[in-house]
Homo-oligomer: A and B are copies of this chain.
Amino acid sequence: MIKALVFDAYGTLFDVRSVQGRCEEVFPGHGSELTGLWRTKQLEYTWLRSLMGRYEDFWQVTQDGLVVACRSVGLAPSQDQIDYLMQAYLTLDPFPEIAAALDALGDIPCSLLSNGTPKMLASVVRNTKLDGRFQHILSVDEVRIYKPSPVVYRLAEDRLGIRREHIGFVSANVWDVAGGKTFGFQAYWLNRQDSPVEVLGVKPDRIIRSAMELTSVMA
């Protein structure tokens, strides 16, 4: 039934909270708060820009999110500080089970579908030693709109050449799962932290706690 898996990247394979170390180093005492605000603003900006039709790529939006996150807690980062913090996005930690989970999936083709730019994705995949694990590394930058627009999920269907109902979509971002499910994927929510499900009128097909569970989902 499921012929391929498509993974979200940020928050799913790569831990966006791993920027906290650099945040704390640059702004002592603000690491945790800044990490949360940065991610919140980054995502808000992807949604707002998509709705307004003002696409800028994820590197820019991530930088804008960082700047406004800093300002909202009274910090005024220099360009050097911004540049240093942005590098954290290229060297995010992978979640610890990811490499083993991909190994366990054996011959099932796995791809990435992400808000990130091609350059950001290439860097983080290389830095986490996941090179060669993915059949396709697909970026919204090709379609210039962000998740959860159906235009993004269609990119994966088109590029994989597999009908949507035969694609399993894996994301730790529950709104992304809702977008993938709305489009017509089999949608698996990787809910590592036992978060409450969002109320968006659509439910994940499966809820898993670790990517290791994907082998039993596929069995």
Distance to closest chain B CB from A64 (angstroms): 4
How distant is A73 from chain B, measured CB to nearest CB, in Å?
Answer: 10
Cβ of A178 < 8 Å from any Cβ of B? yes
Q: How many residues of A contact B (CB 8 A)?
A: 33
Stretch at the interface among A16-24, A48-56, A99-107: A48-56
Q: Is the CB of A54 within 8 A of B199?
A: no
Bound-state CA distance A149–B72 (Å) is: 25
Give a binary string over A146-159; 1 marks a CB under 8 Å from any B CB, 0 the rest: 11111000000000
Inter-chain contact B51/A179, CB cutoff 8 Å: yes
Copies of this chain, whole number: 2
Q: Is the interface of A mostly helix, strand, loop or mixed?
A: helix
Q: List 28 A-B contacts (CB under 8 A).
A: A44-B44, A44-B47, A44-B175, A45-B200, A47-B48, A48-B148, A48-B175, A48-B179, A49-B201, A50-B51, A51-B51, A51-B146, A51-B147, A52-B150, A52-B179, A52-B182, A52-B200, A53-B182, A54-B178, A54-B182, A54-B200, A54-B202, A64-B199, A64-B200, A67-B199, A68-B196, A68-B198, A68-B199
Q: Is the CB of B149 within 8 A of A54?
A: no
Seen from chain A, the residues whose Cβ lies within 8 Å of a Cβ on chain B are 44-45, 47-54, 56, 64-65, 67-68, 71-72, 146-150, 175, 178-179, 182, 195-196, 198-202
Q: Which residues of B contact A67 (CB under 8 A)?
A: 199
- Other-chain residue from B54, B65, B71, B178 in contact with A48 (beta carbon distance below 8 A): B178
Q: CB-nearest residue of chain B relative to A145? A: B51
A88-B218 Cα distance, complex, nearest whole Å: 47
Contacts A48-B200, A199-B45 given; indicate if A53 touches B150 (C-beta within 8 A). Answer: yes
Shortest beta-carbon distance, A150 to chain B, in Å?
7
